[in-house]
Amino acid sequence: MLKRKALRKIMITTFSFLIVFVICIIPEKINSHDNYLNAGMDIEYVSNLGTNEIYLLGPNHYLVKTNVLLEESTLDAKIRGIIDYLTIQKSTKIPNGLSGIIPTNTKLNTVEIKDKVAVLDFSKELLDISIDLEERLIEAITYSIINLDDIAGITIQVEGNRLEELPKTKKKLPEILDRNFGINKVFDIDHLDGIQKVTLYYIDEINNHRYYVPVTKYLNDDREKINIIIDHLSSNYIYESNLVSLLNQNTELINYEIEDEIMTLNFNHSIFTNDKLLEEVTYTIAESVFDTYDIKSVIFQVEGENIVTTNKS
């Protein structure tokens, strides 16, 4: 009997101790969990800082598409932030192997935005650029700024006067610059009749990192532009050895359809690589389409079956 009472007392004591232990430990766990949630929310907040696609100069004098962090909140401030990235030696946050193109000491005097057109007035140092880069300069500023929401075009001024022509080559510039101006231009024409313009996205590897490089080509080709895009991305129509396309040369565009700002592309199975549709392939095709057509989405099909849809960012 005494043994049984003693055993019962030990069990009750042990159980009570467990209850006290649980009561003491729960608040600690709750507080720890709260801290974890707060940390998660902080991380999410930081990750929501805006990034923007801009075009920096690569080692082969091609403008290369890359993402940069924009901490500014207003449209005016974002434009100034982009110009800082594009200015030589102004930012230390650009990837290795790439550089700005706007001459050092150039100042962005004013920014005015009206009807989705940004008027940028620069100091005279903007014109201190070599003849082989002056058109790239205009392309870099234009393509980088019009990637911002609510900006459809830009006008460039120098000390209050509109830049009507390039300083060295004297090439005339439109009053409003947009994607129609082209980027990394290549001319493959024999005559002035029937000139087509398409922008193609290739891949370049710089310091072991892959970047996308848009090339606007002018050529004598009377085919539909989507056929030109697929033909050039799947063949050897590349002028620089450092630029590549991962689209299989046996890829065929069976048919295509455009409806309600959506382009549907139907390919044969050769578009697959090891039974997969590579992200690099869909990106280069879709971005080439977005830069050439007024399209918001591209649907990729293989033998009539929907595989993936890419939307314009």
Pairing of the two strands 297-302 and 262-267: parallel
C-alpha span between 163 and 165 (Å, rounded): 6
> How far is the C-alpha of 53 from the C-alpha of 66, rounded, in Å?
5
Q: Is the pLDDT of residue 160 over 90?
A: yes
Strands (E), the chain: 50-57, 63-70, 108-114, 117-122, 153-158, 161-162, 186-188, 195-206, 209-220, 253-259, 262-267, 297-302, 305-311
CA distance 134 to 152: 22
Q: What is the pLDDT of residue 3?
A: 39
Give the model's pLDDT for residue 252.
97
Torsion 135-183-110-107 (CA) sign: negative
Model confidence, pTM: 0.81
Give the separation between CA 214 and CA 134, rounded to whole angstroms: 18
Asked if residue 205 has pLDDT above 60, the reply is yes
DSSP secondary structure, 50-76, as one string: EEEEEEEE-TTS-EEEEEEEE---SHH
Confidence of residue 165 (pLDDT cuts 50, 70, 90): very high
CA distances to 16, 17, 84, 197, 304 from 144, in Å: 68, 67, 12, 20, 36
Tell me the torsion sign for CA atoms 67, 100, 241, 228.
positive
Note the pLDDT of residue 237.
61
Say what the pLDDT of residue 50 is: 61
Q: Which three-class secondary structure state does DSSP give residue 209?
A: strand
How far CA 156 is from CA of 24, 36, 174, 175, 268, in Å, comes to 68, 49, 10, 8, 45
pLDDT > 70 in the chain, percent: 82
Q: Which of 4-8, 30-34, 49-53, 287-291 has the lowest mean pLDDT?
A: 30-34
pLDDT digit string (tens) for 35-47?
322 222 222 223 3
pLDDT at residue number 5:
39
**Residues whose CB falls within 8 Å of the CB of residue 60, separated by 6 or more in sequence, listed in order:** 204, 240, 242
* 191 pLDDT above the threshold of 90: no
Q: What is the mean pLDDT of residues 211-235?
A: 95
Q: For the residues 20-26, what does the mean pLDDT come to?
A: 39
Model confidence pLDDT, tens digit, residues 96-127: 999 999 999 999 999 999 999 999 999 999 99
Instruction: Reduce the DSSP state of residue 118 to 3 states and report it.
Output: strand
* pLDDT tens per residue, range 227-240: 999 999 998 666 56
Res 193: pLDDT: 82
**What number is the average pLDDT over the span 158-176?**
97
What integer pLDDT is reported at residue 200 of this predicted model? 96
**Average pLDDT along the chain:** 85
Least confident of 12-26, 54-68, 182-196, 261-275: 12-26
Name the burial class of residue 198, with classes exposed (0-12), middle (13-18) and buried (19+) by CB atoms within 10 angstroms of its CB: buried
